[in-house]
Amino acid sequence: MKERFDISGMTCASCQANVQKAVEKLGVDFVNVNLISETMTVSYDDGKISENDIIKAVEKIGYGAKPKNKKNLNANLKKRIFDIIIVHSNLIRNEYYAIRNNKYFIKSNTNLGGTEESIMEFFKKYRNTILKYAFLLFLMFFTVYLVFKNLDINSIDKIKNIIDKKYIAIGVCAILLYIILEGIILKQIVDAQYKVKARFLGMKLATMGFYYNLITPFASGSQPMLIYVLNKYKVPLSEATGIITNKTLLYQTVVTIYCTVFFVLNIGILQTQLPGVISLVILGLSINAFTIIIGLLAILNPGKVKAVANFLIEHLSKLKIFKFLKNKKGQVDKFIEEYSTSVKFFMTNKKLLIKTTLLTIIQLTAYFSVSYWIYKSFDLGQGKFLYIITLQTLLYMAVSPIPTPGNIGANELAFFNIFSTVFPKQFLGYAVLLYGGLVYYLILILSGVLTIISHFQIKEKHHGLKNRAKSEI
């Protein structure tokens, strides 16, 4: 039997070879993997090997596989969602007793033609993703609940009349400036290291970065996603990693110095008014400083990094689950060398370094000023700009070690404690609500919408390149 498969996750010739070897081990008659078209042709005895065996072999090594001639769940998202809605409505209407008796089935008269299996496969495949988003939604609703719990609902109309909306509008503009500057900085770094022909690339990277920052713990999903996107635009993996590392190190260094300066200048007042927060701020500053130092050491001494990496490869490859690392020393050494060169280029390019540093300072000032514009909207008096900026930097550092996605919950709790010295009690809950709305939900919604658009554009571009490559072959 001869069958074609779509293969996902391949980025280089090494990936192609890995997939080829994994399928060959099954004892197939013939296998050919095409990196450009992301397809695989397999000839096999269906009496000995099944289609599912081939898919599992590919998935086991970290790639995706689906039969070319069959619909895949990822390519049919709308139908899945529609089916889920139909099933859900039928369950509510017709299956009450089945659910009560713990019998999870769908009656044959629903006419969904195998939807039950599709749904179960869908939830099984995306279980971790569903759980992550469920946890995120829980945090959102719990945070909103805590905030509203501290509000006097009867005073909402009165508060609405008090708030000066032009200052809220300035706060919104500050957030928009923060996002736009992120895109400009990223574009500057990308253009300096690798020419990419793409419209609004900086903004695409910025919004995607913010989105995955806000939905993953410790913002852990942002950097891998941006590296992946750059790689889709034909930037080599080592170069893409170097570019994103440059941006991350730049931001971490500037924000750490920025917060340290404000912290030191106001240490006397802080010791008097917020002694309990100081230890959390020092912890946040220490973690950021440690991250920067490790990153710099890896750049300045790539030989040591190579030695450590090779040591790990040598010992881990002896274990069954890490056998794929065998004979990878050369590839790893090349990657580290290219990565180090990329980062060093940025650090030695003084003009680029100065320009991006200044832009980052302006970007951070825009972000940290949001609390001040909220303060001004309540008509609470003049001045206090630098002091409120200081409090905002303290809040940022105090919550940075907190692992919740986008520091949701931690941000609001810290605001309650830190800004209680600035906002009267009757306004504090409303100030927290406005703050969370601007620095989290506004960025989440904007970046989420733009991320979806960007993903579609990248997918279309990728398919266009594949089709062009096919026509040239």
Among the residue ranges 167-176, 188-197, 361-370, the one predicted with the least confidence is: 188-197
| Burial category of 460 from C-beta neighbours within 10 Å (exposed 0-12, middle 13-18, buried 19 and up) | exposed
- What was the pLDDT predicted at 296? 73
CATH number at residue 43: 3.30.70.100
pLDDT at position 93 is 40
Residues 144, 114 share a domain: no
- Tell me if 6 sits within 8 A of 65, measured CB to CB: yes
Mention every residue, 6+ apart, whose C-beta is less than 8 A from residue 396. 255, 259, 284, 368
- Cα–Cα distance for residue pair 96/473, rounded to 1 Å: 57
- Residue 364 burial class via C-beta count within 10 angstroms: exposed 0-12, middle 13-18, buried 19 and up: buried
Asked whether the predicted pLDDT for residue 94 surpasses 60, the reply is no
Read off the pLDDT band of 183 (50, 70, 90): very high
Residue 296 in any domain: the answer is: no
Is 458 found in the same domain as 401?
yes
For residue 30, list its beta bridge partners: 43
Which domain, by its residues, includes 15?
Answer: 2-70
pLDDT digits (tens, 9 = 90+) for 109-146: 444 444 444 555 655 555 655 665 565 566 566 656 65
Q: Tell which of 125, 156, 191 closes a domain.
A: 125
Distance CA 402, CA 364 (A): 20
Determine contact, residues 436/412, Cβ cutoff 8 Å.
Answer: yes
- Dig out the tokens for 136 from the structure: 């995120």
From the CB of residue 97, how many other CB atoms can be counted at a distance below 10 Å? 8
How many residues can be counted in the chain? 473
Smallest CA-to-CA distance from 88 within 110, 103, 72, 73 is with 110
How many domains are contained in the chain? 3
Does one domain contain both 49 and 114? no
- Residue 214 and residue 108 in one domain: no
Average pLDDT, the chain: 76
Sign of the CA dihedral with 245 first, then 248, 251, and 253 last: negative
Most confident of 66-70, 153-157, 281-285, 379-383: 281-285
Q: CA-based Rg of the chain, rounded to a whole angstrom?
A: 26
Residues 149 and 271 in one domain: yes
Rounded Cα gap, residues 468 and 234, in angstroms: 15
Mean pLDDT for the stretch of residues 206-214: 87
Most confident range (mean pLDDT) of 242-256, 295-309, 444-458 is 242-256
Q: Are residues 456 and 394 in the same domain?
A: yes
Q: Would you state the pLDDT for residue 238? A: 73
Residue-wise pLDDT tens digits, 30-87: 888 877 668 888 888 888 888 888 999 998 888 888 887 544 434 444 444 344 334 4
- At 253-274, the pLDDT tens digits run 999 999 999 989 888 888 888 8
Mean predicted confidence (pLDDT) in 322-330: 68
Give CA angle at 283 (280, 288), nearest 5°.
Answer: 130
In the predicted model, is pLDDT for residue 171 greater than 90? Answer: yes
Query: Both 82 and 63 in a single domain?
Result: no
